[in-house]
Amino acid sequence: MIKKFLAVSAMLLCSAVVVAAERFPETLNITYVKAPFNIQAIVMKNQGLLEKAFERDGVQVHWVPIKAGINQMQAMAAGRLDMAVAMNTSTILIANGAGNRIDIIDGVAKPAKLFSLMATKDIRNVTDLKGKKVAGPKGTVLHHLLIAALDANGMTEKDVELISMNLPASLATLSSGRAQAALLNAAGVDAAKQAGAHELVNAQGLVPVTLVLAARAEFAKDYPEVVKRVSRINREALRWARENPDQALTMAAQELQITKQQAQDLFDKMGYYEKFTVSDVKDLEETQSFLVKHGLMQKSVDVQSLLGHVQP
């Protein structure tokens, strides 16, 4: 009788451990961000990779079309968003400085060449922006780029009038002449050039542009297996794109409604990567110092505390 009791107890204990280890949410709310050229996200969604990966666990994958980093940050703070396929580290730092805990899970890309400060023909250099209107999204790496460009030319944000708006609106505002400059990326930069604008400066060598796979800290803590699996699928999607460039570029060109040559150009400039390295941590620390100094970040945080779920 005692042996039977112990055997049953052991089975129940094992079952409890398995249940705990295999805890999954009913829904995974994850962003679908295509720009500037997030090939991993495009491949994952178009091939249903996440849906297949979580099908047996009964997890419904809900792709959320939130583009702007500040909106992603707000959605995570409200608990409406669990993960972001591509979030820039400037936004993550700003969010954490405001008490909105977001963790870095894995690397995505370093597309500094694709993030630019564009201006009308009469604005020949950054100093010409004094007293002028600049359109662009606040609380993002593009906002960081603007301040860095101004700082490098002995100016501050007070020297310009920043009109906060999303990227399509920023492009339209610049093209219509309602602003003399705009913060844009990727296809938006090309569209601005076609409309007669030119690039004053891009982020290359000025500010780190690091896109990462990110998760709401509470979600990452509660469902570590989910974030680990999403990271794995994210890497597999990039590997597939590199091994099947023709198919991947065709898929992305259709999704972004651009030519295949434009897709190839963006692919070449994205700087895709997977592993978050010591050098990336150093960039995080330097970015945080800059953001705090210029008032974009409320207070400093322990950068290492954001990396607890980073994949090896």
> How confident is the model over 101-133, as pLDDT tens digits?
999 999 999 999 999 999 999 999 999 999 999
pLDDT at 277: 87
Distance CA 101, CA 305 (A): 10
Per domain, the residue ranges of the chain are: 25-111+209-306, 113-202
**pLDDT tens sequence across 17-27:** 444 456 899 99
pLDDT at 21: 54
What is the CATH class of 25-111+209-306? alpha beta
The mean pLDDT of 61-89, rounded to a whole number, is: 90
Q: Indicate if the pLDDT at residue 1 is higher than 50.
A: no
CB-based contact 201:195 (threshold 8 Å): no
Residue among 308, 309, 302, 310 at smallest CA distance from 96: 302
Does the N-terminal peptide bond of residue 168 adopt cis geometry, omega within 30 degrees of 0? no
Q: Is the dihedral of CA 128, 131, 136, 138 positive or negative?
A: positive
**pLDDT tens sequence across 203-259:** 998 998 999 999 999 999 999 999 999 999 999 999 999 999 999 999 999 999 999
pLDDT at 7: 46
Distance CA 298, CA 311 (A): 28
Q: Are strands 211-216 and 83-88 parallel, antiparallel or unpaired?
A: antiparallel
Band (pLDDT 50/70/90 cuts) for residue 47 is very high
Virtual CA dihedral for 102, 295, 136, 75, nearest 10 degrees?
A: 30
| CATH superfamily entry for domain 113-202 | Periplasmic binding protein-like II (3.40.190.10)
**pLDDT tens sequence across 159-178:** 999 999 988 999 999 999 99
Residue in the structure block whose two tokens are 């849906």: 51
φ, ψ for residue 210 (rounded to 5)? -125, 110
**pLDDT tens sequence across 177-203:** 999 999 998 888 989 999 999 999 999
**pLDDT tens sequence across 257-301:** 999 999 999 999 999 998 888 889 999 999 999 899 888 888 999
